[in-house]
Amino acid sequence: MDRSLRAVMLGTFTLRFSTGLTGAMLVFYLRRLDELGGPTVDSVLIGIYAALFYLAELGLSPFFGILGDRFGHHRLMLWGPIFGGVAVVLTGLSTNTVILGATRLLEGASTAASVPAILGYIAMATAGNEALRGRAAARFEGATLAGLGAGFIVAPSLFAIVGPAAFFMNALIYGASFAIYRLGVKEPPEEALERARPHVTLARYAELLRSSHIWLLAPTWIAINASIGLWFSQSLFAFAKRNPDFPEQVLMRGFSTFEITGALVVIAIVFAAGLFYWGGRFKRFRRTTIILYGILGGGAAVAAGLFVNHGEALPAVVPWLAGVVIAGGLFVLAGATPAAVGLLADVSERFPADRGAIMGLYSVFLAIGQIGGSLLGGYFAQWAGIDGLFSGTLLLLAVALVPLFRLRGQEQYVGGPEAPAHIGLDDGDASTAS
């Protein structure tokens, strides 16, 4: 990887760290909002706030992706830290739930501006290099999830020590992301050539969205993201305080910020190891094979989680063994994310002048899934606590399996080692290739 690509990965980490830090601290902020002069907040509003973030990402990602193709991916990267910095300052200044909702929209705009530009840049920099694409996709996902995970890990302790002033500290981290993109990322020679090519219009973009090559991936990726979003939006809220409505559930008896932090550290390490392992297996395994393993691993982790949640009456060895299964399941599940990025990057080879527009669909699919998962999570959590979250996750992973088998049957037209033979064909040509 060259210097600019490494800077993109570092900026991705710091940007997503800020995003995760804000999202997690907001949960603890909302827990105390009534003590700070605001209203009492329930789990449904938590889910709505999470959905607002992804609603902004969903609506704005295609727009920013098109702008990145026209004006340069490295330039659009700068917009995200600006939006995010303004959002966290406003968060720290207000206890008004409407204003706090608006800051979630602004944070979503931050991601919408940055991610399509970053992925467009990566797709351009790795064109024609299967091994580099696998490493770059894994490192992007690693930087994304490590940043989000580190933000989640730091948030409980930082907020406990500093309080709402921690939001202002986060604005400085957004400033660091801006500096990394501004000073560390240079325009590659091919980007100037691609900017000069004709680009998709909004009407053509709508046609592009209907391409079978793109929507083969969408249902599975949306369902996987919904299962992850369900936990991102509700887990801290559920673990942070004892819930007397579910006394039989071990995981709902309330944990300290340091216990939560320790668990998040372990999860982050396992997931990061899985990302880097599976990102280096693009030449050996089909993308859909890695995704299939990930879904099955996620299902195994959930099943084991149910044993942990009801393990008080079981022999002590059972919850420990279940913990090992959870770790293994998360390790395998991690592979699904770089595999999906790799598939989408393969699709972008057909549209080299519009990589940002294509890669912006990553945020679209992610946002749809996260919105659905966030909203479902609030109701599953109210219905059955942590058991509800486990049940919802199993349901969404089962949904993800159904379209995956059709995707596997058509993968030779979308991605994998054999895809370069079809690069440059339009949809009609590709549909008749063998």
**0.85 exceeded by the pTM?**
no
pLDDT tens digits for 197-252? Answer: 555 556 666 666 666 556 667 888 888 888 887 887 677 777 877 777 788 888 88
- Written as six digits, the tokens of 393 are 């996750």
pLDDT at 433: 32
Residues 115, 118: Cα–Cα separation, whole Å: 5
- Number of folded domains that form the chain: 1
- The rounded mean pLDDT for the chain is 80
CATH at residue 206: 1.20.1250.20
Distance from chain centroid for Cα 187? 26
Question: What residues have CB less than 8 Å from 159, skipping those under 6 apart?
Answer: 25, 28, 29, 166
Q: At residue 310, does pLDDT exceed 80?
A: yes
Q: pLDDT per residue over 82-102, tens digit each?
A: 999 999 999 989 888 889 889
- Domain range holding 344? 3-432
Residues 136-160: tens digit of each pLDDT: 887 888 888 788 878 878 888 898 8
- Write a three-state SS string for the chain: CCHHHHHHHHHHHHHHHHHHHHHHHHHHHHHCCCCCCCCCCCHHHHHHHHHHHHHHHHHHHHHHHHHHHHHCHHHHCCHHHHHHHHHHHHHHHCCCHHHHHHHHHHHHHHHHHHHHHHHHHHHHHCCCCHHHHHHHHHHHHHHHHHHHHHHHHHHHHHHHHHHHHHHHHHHHHHHHHHHHHHHHCCCCHHHHHHHHCCCCCHHHHHHHHCCHHHHCCHHHHHHHHHHHHHHHHHHHHHHCCCCCCCCCCHHHCCCCHHHHHHHHHHHHHHHHHHHHHHHCCCCCCCHHHHHHHHHHHHHHHHHHHHHHHCCCCCCCHHHHHHHHHHHHHHHHHCCHHHHHHHHHHHHHCCCHHHHHHHHHHHHHHHHHHHHHHHHHHHHHHHHHHHHHHHHHHHHHHHHHHHHHHHHHHCHHHCCCCCHHHHCCCCHHHHHHCC
Place of tokens 């990930």: 294
User: Quick check: 419 and 127 in contact, CB under 8 A?
Assistant: no
pLDDT higher than 80, residue 284? yes
For the residues 258-266, what does the mean pLDDT come to? 81
Q: Are 92 and 167 in contact (CB under 8 A)?
A: yes
Going by C-alpha positions, the residue among 237, 228, 258 that lies closest to residue 385 is 237
Distant-in-sequence, close-in-space partners of 321: CB < 8 Å, separation ≥ 6 = none
Mean pLDDT within 312-331: 87
Residue 337 banded pLDDT, cuts 50, 70, 90? confident
As a whole-number percent, the residues of the chain with pLDDT over 90 amount to 22
Q: What is the pLDDT of residue 418?
A: 43
Q: Please, which pLDDT band fits residue 424 given cuts at 50, 70 and 90?
A: very low
- Amino acid identity for residue 24 in this structure: A
The dihedral sign for the CA sequence 97, 104, 271, 227: positive
Beta strands in 262-328 (DSSP E): none
Does 428 have pLDDT greater than 70? Answer: no
- Is the pLDDT at 417 greater than 50? The verdict is no
- Say how far apart CA 344 and CA 74 lie, in whole Å: 19
**Which amino acid appears at position 89 of this protein?**
V
End-to-end CA distance of the chain: 34
- Give the H or E element holding residue 367: helix 355-409
Q: What is the rounded distance in angstroms from the CA atom of residue 348 to the CA atom of residue 359?
A: 7
Side chain identity, residue 6:
R
* Confidence bin at 422 (pLDDT 50/70/90): very low
Mean pLDDT of 371-389: 84
Most confident of 67-76, 281-290, 409-418: 281-290
Rounded Cα distance, 324 and 406, in Å: 32
Q: What gap in Å lies between CA 425 and CA 340, rounded to an integer?
A: 21
Reported as a single tens digit per residue, the pLDDT across 174-195 is 999 999 999 988 876 666 556 5
pLDDT tens digits, 37-85: 777 777 778 778 877 887 888 888 888 888 877 777 878 889 999 999 9
pLDDT the model gives residue 194: 60
pLDDT band at residue 419 using 50, 70 and 90 as cut-offs:
very low
Q: Among 192-196, 325-329, 418-422, whose mean pLDDT is lowest?
A: 418-422
